Amino acid sequence: MSQDRTEPSSERATRGALMGAEVAEQPDVWARLLDRADQPDGELAAAAALIGRRRPRFVQFVARGTSDHAALYAKYFAEIVLQLPCGLVSPSTMTAYGAEPDLTDVLMIGVSQSGGSPDLVTTLERARAQGALTVAVTNNPTSALAQAAEAQIDIAVGPEKAVAATKSYTGQLLALYLLLDRVRGGDGAAARRLPEWGTALLGRDDDVAELAQRYRFASRLVTTARGYSYPTASEAALKLMETCYLSAQAFSGADLLHGPLAMIDPQVPVLTVVGDGIGGRAMGQVLPRLSELGADVFCVGTPDAVAAATVGIALPDGVAEEVSPLLEILPFQQLARHLALFRGGDPDAPRGLKKVTETL
């Protein structure tokens, strides 16, 4: 899949143009969503009020693919901030096996860019019939998933034409943060500067393109992080697999220190997320071990963490850990796009993939 180094940059720019535009659009998407979140009679306020009245004792999230990583982020938030037990639903238990669990006092949140996956729709419908309070987070307010839920939040990121989800992912992250923060009585203050920070971080696209060259001939790599950043590692691995056709495995930093560490060597790049917070500090156990093994470490994180890695991109100062994942994923989206182009692929339309995958 490697391409000739002499290919004109103008030809590379044609491929991947959709993904590039959608990555760049994200700060504007966030600004619009933040404005809508301030509306006292908006759907986000209504959903938060409904959750507050029902006072669920357990939260379940149902999603697939990229949206599953957004749901995993929300699971961390709900467990840490709302201090509610949470779980990620296996849709097949209801759709294929016909399970009908008692879901009284359960909040089930369905997360889907299209809102059209039959297994997610069926799961939300059956959960509602079994007593759950159901909420849909989608980019399509008229979708079957939105109609199946008692409340829905439209992330309103606009059409996403590239197959690889970018702006819809961070739109989901922000919508879930704003919803759950409002449930705890917050005003979304930690997210207010995200459009500003995101614009500055995306301005380093040329730096990321240069770094992408070093991984042009990689056949496999590992991504790792802890806490709120672990979903970022999972989403980064997915973006690299679907756009660059390489094997990418995501591990919690804690899990990496067990058996998977044995596969790390100088030929297996490791992409790490080391933000400013508890999860980032927990990665302090991981980084020295990677160094001992001679790993090539690409780090998105604090300036100190980046300085200790092989290469990396530093995050802005002052970002709260609970909203940092919206920024952390941006360099990885850029990396996936540039690496796909250098390897001769088209990240707008990866082979064999469709924008919406229907599962039963």
Q: How many whole angstroms separate alpha carbon 318 and alpha carbon 332?
A: 20
Cα→Cα distances 235→92, 125, 127, 135, 241, Å: 22, 27, 27, 23, 10
User: Is 355 a known active-site residue?
Assistant: yes
Tell me how many helices (H) and strands (E) the chain has.
17, 10
Contacts of 46 (CB under 8 A, 6+ apart): 151
User: What are the tokens at 194?
Assistant: 């995200």
User: What are the tokens at 352?
Assistant: 């064999």
Cα→Cα distances 182→5, 53, 194, 202, 252, Å: 50, 13, 17, 28, 28
SS3 273: strand
Give the CA angle between residues 349, 355, 359 to the nearest 5°.
Answer: 135
Q: Which of 161, 239, 354, 355 is catalytic?
A: 355
Q: Which residues are catalytic?
A: 355
